[in-house]
């Protein structure tokens, strides 16, 4: 098999429900889709969800990378030699994380389609589905509670609340949500780097009765020692998100026992191949793993899901980034039933065309 063509195109998508986090308000997103054509008539699809705050990319920069250096390198190559293709390009594309992820996805999609198997089976096939959390952005207390109740009524038993702007409001919202949804729902909290160490510790102490399952990235990403200080002072798991981008980040977090958990997002780390390496580091250190996402087309969500289903130590999923996207060309790439997310039938990621 040989790659004969590469196509990349930009797809703006509006959010049905805009949301706010600690450092921005999001009303719309732009993903970049990728198609690798082959001489056997099989197409592989990938998707990039660039974010200047997280990956340092824009849709324009991703498009330039994919239609420039990547196209020059991959056309004529064997897509089944995934490691060879990715390592050849690593010096030129490693800094462009979501573009790298899109290429990685398209290669894995081709591998699955060539083998006639879904990617999750090729990677290990540990489970067939996984519960996912659903995210509630920073809203007034009453609106937060209404959203939380609505999601639980739809069958979601894991809610992730965003915060980090106002600790008093965050504490009050968490308490009220627990009262409203009862004892069975799992609550997670993501401060998106918005707290100091002292604020993070106080927040966790003052929400003890709400029984939070975890707190995600409470402190700034460039100062992992601050994460460690929070981790060592509290009794619930602390998760690194923005602080984990590279394999070296994973090694440092694990070696120095800076956190209890890590959030692996394909867009941050550069795709499934890198995610597998990072996951192995986490497993060796006894760190729990969650597979997360950005504001991504369901195609990219599918790639994260297939990775999550394949590995036994990936115990948590936060794969809801597609739910509120309007006009997603790959909207049916996954399905969610009562808070559990499933892959589509079919080889690769189950997407026949876009």
| pLDDT above 90 for 83 | yes
| pLDDT above 80 for 191 | yes
* Whole-number pLDDT of residue 32: 98
| pLDDT above 80 for 16 | yes
265 tagged catalytic: yes
| pLDDT above 80 for 202 | yes
Give backbone dihedrals phi and psi of 62, rounded to 5 degrees, phi first: -65, -45
Asked if 51 contacts 77 with a C-beta cutoff of 8 angstroms, the reply is no
Q: Considering the domain boundaries, does residue 50 fall inside one?
A: yes
Same domain, 12 and 103: yes
Q: Considering the domain boundaries, does residue 136 fall inside one?
A: yes
Number of domains the chain is built from = 2
* Whole-number pLDDT of residue 218: 98
Q: Considering the domain boundaries, does residue 350 fall inside one?
A: no
Average pLDDT over residues 13-37: 87
| pLDDT above 70 for 22 | no
* Whole-number pLDDT of residue 153: 97
The structure tokens listed for 49 are 């969800």
Same domain, 189 and 328: yes
Average pLDDT, the chain: 96
Q: What is the DSSP letter of 138?
A: S
Asked if 197 contacts 226 with a C-beta cutoff of 8 angstroms, the reply is yes
Paired with 25 in beta bridges are: 20
pLDDT band (50, 70, 90) for residue 26: confident
Q: How far is CA 286 from CA 184, 228, 233, 243, in A?
A: 26, 16, 19, 18
List 43, 242, 260, 265, catalytic entry: 265
List 51, 241, 242, 249, catalytic entry: 241
List 216, 242, 274, 328, catalytic entry: 216
Same domain, 141 and 45: no
The dihedral formed by the CA atoms of 240, 243, 249 and 250, expressed in degrees to the nearest 10: 10
pTM: 0.95
Same domain, 92 and 171: no
Same domain, 330 and 192: yes
Average pLDDT over residues 241-267: 96
Same domain, 128 and 106: no
Q: Considering the domain boundaries, does residue 298 fall inside one?
A: yes
Q: How far apart are CA 254 and CA 208, in angstroms?
A: 26
Domain boundary among 68, 100, 116: 116
- CATH number of the domain where residue 230 is located: 3.20.20.120
186 tagged catalytic: no
Q: Considering the domain boundaries, does residue 322 fall inside one?
A: yes
* Whole-number pLDDT of residue 68: 97
Same domain, 199 and 216: yes
Q: How far apart are CA 296 and CA 321, in angstroms?
A: 5
pLDDT band (50, 70, 90) for residue 351: very high
Asked if 300 contacts 31 with a C-beta cutoff of 8 angstroms, the reply is yes
Query: pLDDT by residue (tens digit) across 336-345?
Result: 999 999 999 9
* Beta strand spans in 201-349 (E): 212-216, 238-240, 261-264, 288-291, 314-317, 334-337, 340-343
Domain boundary among 116, 141, 166: 116
The single residue listed with the structure tokens 């980040």 is: 249
Q: How far apart are CA 300 and CA 324, in angstroms?
A: 14
* Whole-number pLDDT of residue 17: 83
Question: How big is the chain by its Cα radius of gyration, in Å?
Answer: 20
Average pLDDT over residues 28-56: 96
Q: What percent of the chain has pLDDT over 90?
A: 94
Give backbone dihedrals phi and psi of 99, rounded to 5 degrees, phi first: -65, -40
Pairing status of strand 238-240 against strand 212-216: parallel
| pLDDT above 80 for 25 | no
Q: What is the DSSP letter of 231?
A: H
* Least confident interval from 19-23, 97-101, 260-264, 291-295: 19-23
* Whole-number pLDDT of residue 19: 78
104 tagged catalytic: no
216 tagged catalytic: yes
Average pLDDT over residues 44-48: 98
Domain boundary among 97, 116, 135: 116
| pLDDT above 80 for 348 | yes
Same domain, 240 and 126: yes
* Whole-number pLDDT of residue 18: 78
Query: 223 CB contacts (<8 Å, ≥6 apart)?
Result: none
Q: Considering the domain boundaries, does residue 327 fall inside one?
A: yes
The structure tokens listed for 19 are 């949301």
Nearest residue to 86 via CA among 108, 119, 53: 108
Query: pLDDT by residue (tens digit) across 96-108?
Result: 999 999 999 999 9
List 43, 190, 318, 328, catalytic entry: 190
113 tagged catalytic: no
Q: Which residues constitute the domain of residue 261?
A: 121-343
* Whole-number pLDDT of residue 239: 98
The structure tokens listed for 213 are 């399952």
Q: Considering the domain boundaries, does residue 352 fall inside one?
A: no
Average pLDDT over residues 139-145: 96
Q: How far apart are CA 335 and CA 219, in angstroms?
A: 33
- 3-class DSSP assignment, residue 75: coil
Q: How far apart are CA 80 and CA 1, in angstroms?
A: 8
Question: What per-residue string of b and e applies to 285-319 under the rule 16 or more CB within 10 Å gives b?
Answer: bebbbbbbbbbbbbbbbbbbbbbbbbbeebebbbb
Average pLDDT over residues 313-320: 96
Asked if 294 contacts 265 with a C-beta cutoff of 8 angstroms, the reply is yes
- CATH number of the domain where residue 60 is located: 3.30.390.10
Give backbone dihedrals phi and psi of 77, rounded to 5 degrees, phi first: -95, 170
Same domain, 88 and 133: no
Same domain, 247 and 328: yes
Q: Considering the domain boundaries, does residue 144 fall inside one?
A: yes
Query: pLDDT by residue (tens digit) across 147-182?
Result: 999 999 999 999 999 999 999 999 999 999 999 999
pLDDT band (50, 70, 90) for residue 30: very high
Same domain, 184 and 153: yes
* Beta strand spans in 21-124 (E): 25-38, 43-48
Same domain, 104 and 138: no
| pLDDT above 80 for 312 | yes
| pLDDT above 90 for 24 | no
């Amino acid at each position: 098999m040989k790659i004969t063509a590469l196509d990349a195109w930009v797809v703006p998508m509006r959010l049905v429900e805009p949301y706010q986090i600690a450092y921005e308000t999001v009303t719309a997103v732009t993903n970049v889709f990728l198609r690798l054509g082959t001489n056997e008539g099989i197409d592989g699809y990938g998707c990039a969800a660039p974010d200047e705050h997280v990956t340092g990319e824009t849709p324009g920069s991703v498009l330039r990378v994919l239609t420039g250096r990547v196209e020059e390198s991959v056309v004529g190559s064997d897509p089944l030699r995934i490691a060879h293709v990715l390592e050849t390009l690593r010096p030129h594309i490693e800094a462009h994380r979501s573009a790298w992820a899109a290429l990685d996805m398209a290669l894995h999609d081709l591998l699955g389609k060539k083998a006639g198997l879904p990617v999750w089976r090729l990677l290990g096939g540990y489970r067939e589905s996984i519960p996912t959390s659903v995210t509630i952005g920073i809203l007034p207390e009453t609106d937060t509670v209404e959203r939380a109740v609505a999601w639980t009524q739809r069958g979601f038993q894991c809610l992730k609340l965003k915060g980090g702007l106002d600790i008093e409001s965050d504490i009050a919202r968490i308490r009220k949500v627990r009262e409203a949804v009862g004892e069975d729902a799992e609550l997670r909290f993501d401060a998106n780097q918005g707290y100091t160490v002292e604020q993070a510790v106080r927040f966790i102490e003052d929400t003890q009765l709400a029984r939070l399952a975890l707190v995600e990235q409470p402190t700034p990403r460039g100062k992992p020692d601050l994460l460690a200080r929070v981790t060592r002072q509290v009794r619930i798991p602390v998760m690194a998100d923005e602080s984990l981008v590279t394999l070296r980040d994973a090694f440092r977090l694990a070696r120095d026992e800076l956190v209890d958990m890590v959030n692996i997002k394909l867009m941050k780390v550069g795709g499934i191949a890198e995610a597998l390496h990072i996951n192995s580091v986490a497993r060796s250190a006894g760190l729990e793993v969650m597979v997360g996402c950005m504001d991504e087309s369901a195609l990219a969500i599918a790639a994260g899901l297939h990775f999550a289903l394949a590995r036994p130590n990936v115990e948590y999923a936060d794969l809801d980034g597609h739910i509120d996207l309007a006009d997603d060309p790959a909207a049916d790439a996954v399905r969610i039933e009562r808070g559990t997310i499933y892959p589509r039938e079919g080889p690769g990621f189950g997407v026949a065309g876009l």
